[in-house]
Amino acid sequence: MKPSLRVAAGTLAVFAALTLSLRAEIVEQILVKVNGEIFTKSDLEVRQIAALRQMGQQTDTTSDAQLQKMLNDVTPQLIVSAIDETLLVQRGHELGYKMGDDQFKSVLDSIKKDNKIETDEQFQQALKSENLTLPELRRNLERQWIITRVQQNEVLGKVSVSDDELRRYYDEHRSEFTSQPSVTLREIFVSLPNNGANATVADDNLTRTRATELRRRAVSGEDFASLASAFSDAASKSNAGLIGPLNLSDLSEDVRKLLAPMKPGDITDVLRGARGYQILKLESLTGAQTATFEQAHDQIGDKVFNEKRRIEFERYLERARAQAIIEWKSDDLKKAYEQGLLQADTQATSDK
C-alpha cells in the first residue's frame, strides 16, 4: 500500500484541503477577495475534491446529478471555512507568526512517525500520492500552525472555568453522568439443523432434548461457561458464552420481563427461538449509577471548557468577518457562504 500523508486528529482540517495553487502563470477565475487576498475557482475545486475524498465518495462512478448534489451540500461549509482560515492566517501574519525550519522539521517528523514513513523514498511517494510538492506541503502546514497559534493566543487564553460553573453544570446535567442499568449474561445455544429451515418435528424434539440435558447439567452444578465453550452453537462460544454487559434498555421487553425476577446465578428455562433453543444464565445485574461530582470533575471540566471555547471562538470569527473587506466576484458563491453561516448558526443552536 502506498504511504500517504495524514495529519493527526484534532487539527482544523485535513491539510490536503488547504492546498492552494502556486502556478501564477495560469489565469485563474477569482471568486472572492478577503482583505485583498484572492480565492480562486481552483482553490475551491481543491477543497471540494478533498471533502469528497474525506467522505469516501468515488466521483468516477457518480452521475453528474449526484455529483452536483454532493457539491451543493459541501460547498457552503467549505467556503465559510476557507474565509475563516484566511482571516486567521492574516491575523497570524499581523502578529508576526512564522514557522521556522526547526518547527517545520518537528511537525514533519511527527507526520512521518504517525504514518510510519521511514525513508525519503516513502516520503516522496506519499507527497506524490497527495499531489503535493515539499514547498506546498510546508505552506499548508504553516497555515495550519499559524491558525492553531492564533486560536491558542487570542481565544483559548480568554477562556476560564470556575468551580461554581462546574458545579452548576453537574447539577443541571446530572443525567449525563448517570449510567444505564446493565446486565451481563451467558448463553448456551443449540441450533436446529440448517438453522431451523425446513426442520421436522423429529429435528425439533432432538434439539430440545439436547438443550434440556445441557440445562440439567448446568443446574446440577456443572460450570455453565465450560458447557457453553464445549457445546454451544452460538458465536459467543469462543467467549464461554459471555454476552455483555448490555444496557437493559437495549433488550426487548420480553427479555426484560424474563430477567426481572432472576438473581445473579439463576438459569432460565430452555427457550425456543426461530433457529433453535437457548439457555441463559444471569451473571450480573447493575442498576443505574450516578458518578459523584468529584468522580466526574475532569469530564465536566472538559465539557464546560470546550463549550466556552466554541462560543468564544465563534464570537472571535464573527468579529473578524465583520471587520474584513470581503469582495464577492461570484453571486452564487456569496449565496453559498450565507447559507453556510446559517447552517453553522442552526447547528450551534441545536447543540446548546
Tell me the Ramachandran region of residue 265: left when phi exceeds 0, alpha when psi lies from -120 to 50, beta otherwise.
Answer: left
For residue 144, what is the domain's CATH number? 1.10.4030.10
Residues 136 and 209 in one domain: no
Paired residues of 276 in beta bridges:
191
Residues 110 and 207 in one domain: no
**Domain assignment of residue 113, yes or no:** yes
Instruction: Give the pLDDT score at 64.
Output: 80
CB burial class (10 A; 0-12, 13-18, 19+) of residue 345?
exposed
**Domain assignment of residue 24, yes or no:** yes
Residue 304 has which C-alpha cell? 464546560
Residues 208 and 61 in one domain: no
Boundary residue ending a domain (233, 268, 287)? 287
Residues 254 and 311 in one domain: no
User: Which position has the grid cell 447559507?
Assistant: 339
Instruction: Give the pLDDT score at 60.
Output: 58
Instruction: Give the pLDDT score at 50.
Output: 86
The domain of 339 spans 15-161+298-351
Helix (H, G, I), strand (E, B) or coil at 52: helix
Instruction: Give the pLDDT score at 114.
Output: 92
**Domain assignment of residue 169, yes or no:** no
* pTM of the complete model: 0.65
Residues 142 and 80 in one domain: yes
Instruction: Give the pLDDT score at 57.
Output: 61
Rounded CA-CA distance 1/274 in Å is: 44
Rounded CA-CA distance 241/231 in Å is: 10
**Of the candidates 85, 76, 88, 84, which has an alpha carbon nearest to the alpha carbon of residue 51?**
76
* Tens digit of pLDDT at every position of the chain (352 positions): 445 555 443 333 334 444 444 444 446 799 999 999 999 999 999 899 888 888 776 555 667 888 888 888 999 999 999 999 999 999 999 999 999 999 999 989 999 999 999 998 999 998 888 888 999 999 999 999 999 999 999 998 889 999 999 999 999 999 999 988 999 999 999 999 888 788 889 999 999 999 999 999 999 999 999 999 999 999 999 999 999 899 988 888 888 899 989 999 999 999 998 899 999 999 999 888 899 999 999 999 999 999 999 999 999 999 999 999 999 999 999 999 999 999 988 877 666 6
Residues 141 and 262 in one domain: no
Residues 304 and 195 in one domain: no
Instruction: Give the pLDDT score at 352.
Output: 61
Q: Pairing relation of β-strands 242-247 and 30-34?
A: unpaired
Boundary residue ending a domain (241, 262, 287)? 287
Residues 47 and 149 in one domain: yes
Q: Are 83 and 145 in contact (CB under 8 A)?
A: no
Quick check: bond before 245 cis, omega within 30? yes
Boundary residue ending a domain (287, 309, 340)? 287
Number of structural domains the chain divides into: 2
**Domain assignment of residue 186, yes or no:** yes
Residues 25 and 128 in one domain: yes
Residues 108 and 226 in one domain: no
Residues 129 and 217 in one domain: no
Residues 261 and 311 in one domain: no
Rounded CA-CA distance 90/103 in Å is: 20
**Domain assignment of residue 8, yes or no:** no
